[in-house]
Amino acid sequence: MADSEGATNNELLLVAAKQDSEDILEDIFSQPGTYDINHSDAIGNTALHYAAQFGSLTAAELLLQQPNIKVNLQNKLELDTPLHKAVQYKDDPSVALEIAKLLIKHGADPTKQNKNKQKPQQLVDSGNQELKNLLQKAALALQVDASDIAQEDSDDGSPSDVSDD
């Protein structure tokens, strides 16, 4: 397909993500070494950014199955991650929610800020409480994990090693 259209597999990857084209993605993925799963265009959007922005749920699922995909890459224009793009998809709130769930499951950081210092939760449509709740819970889970790590006993004499006994 790449030869007949004159497009590289990296370019086709971006188009397929926008169009939610399972066939094109599977064709590209069947040719290891001919594409970069994290390839970005001139404004820094990857296929995962476009799948999230255009509500391409099948494409998002397929992309997230690929090894080495980076879910927290920020684009050049707004410094948006794919999660920022997903939460702004307004055509079908249930699709936005599903893509956000997938991204979070695969390690998307709900606390990452864009150029305007906005976290994904701040970009959610005011009527989509379920999506806001998902992002809030994911952010809290990250905070709990970070504080648990900080409290682990390291036997280095730090305050966390001193007991109140």
Residue 40: beta bridge partners?
46
CATH, domain 2-149, list 3.40.1080.10, 1.25.40.20, 3.30.565.10, 1.10.10.410: 1.25.40.20
DSSP state string for 72-124: TPPPSSS---HHHHHHT--S-HHHHHHHHHHHHHTT--TT---TTS--GGGGS
Domain locations along the chain: 2-149
pLDDT tens-digit readout, 93-123: 999 999 999 999 999 999 999 999 999 999 9
Assess contact for 83 and 120: CB atoms under 8 A.
Answer: yes
- pLDDT band at residue 159, thresholds of 50, 70 and 90? very low
pTM: 0.85
Percentage of the chain with pLDDT > 90?
81
